[in-house]
Amino acid sequence: MGKTVLVTGAGSGFGRGVSVALAERGHNVIATTETEEQASELAAAHPDLNVEKIDITTDDVEKVTQWDIDVLINNAGTGQTGPMADVPMERVRANFEVNVFGTLAITQQVLAGMIPRGSGRVIIMSSIGGLESFPTFGPYCMTKHALEGMGKAMRVELESQGIDVTMINPGPHDTGFNSVVAETMWEWFGEDSLQAPNMDMFTMMRGVATTDQMDPVAVVDKLVQLVEAETTQQNNVVPEDGIAELNEATGLGEEQIQR
């Protein structure tokens, strides 16, 4: 029997992919997008989806109380790159507003229905950057580390109430997200920045993030597995050796791997 699955950030990337895949497998998918324009486009392209506009940084999150949600996939997110010594604070705050505070806000609304029922699953889109951190990607990794802290606490707190919480940790997959995020620092970083002497390293990291990205189908498939699984593990790295591969690509070395 199909489950009712709410997916945030379904306008593109992993969110769109898993929404379509789950609907094809007979699940009732509520695919949510940040804007009305995204919602209209998604609904027209995939009429088998229930599409709603939910900006997780607003009171839109209260809409979820109208549905009995079996699985929440917290996929909505944004990103910012740049050296920590220079990154504008307003950009860091904006990243936390979406990735952390917005994710917690909608999760709390969904849990208000799951907990009395005594069942449900919350899947959090973390990242390899939630288990490790890399030069240039510190602002983004900060938010994913925060999600790891949130998810790991919730996994223990909610287990006795029948709620399962799990994190998925993708590496660089070709959804377009990494390419966009890799460019955000160049909107404000320049020769007058404190970290300007390390310009070559930041340019190299931009190349690492945007070259030889993997097929996002692997992450979509894993999300489908997590929705349908009887039980889950705490973290699900995709690919399984993704941290080692990134450390090798960046030249950071095995000593940087901390799990």
> What letter does residue 213 receive in the DSSP assignment?
P
Q: Which helix (H) or strand (E) holds 159?
A: helix 138-159
Would you say 233 and 168 are in contact if contact means Cβ atoms under 8 Å apart?
no
Residues 8-39 as b or e (16 or more Cβ within 10 Å = b): bbbbbbbbbbbbbbbbeeebbbbbbbbeeebb
Distance CA 127, CA 121 (A): 19
Would you say 165 and 172 are in contact if contact means Cβ atoms under 8 Å apart?
no
Which tokens belong to 42?
Answer: 């998604």
Radius of gyration of the chain (CA): 18
Distance CA 223, CA 25 (A): 13
Distance CA 87, CA 185 (A): 8
Write down the catalytic residue from 14, 134, 137, 140.
140
Note if 140 is an active site residue: yes
Catalytic residues: 140
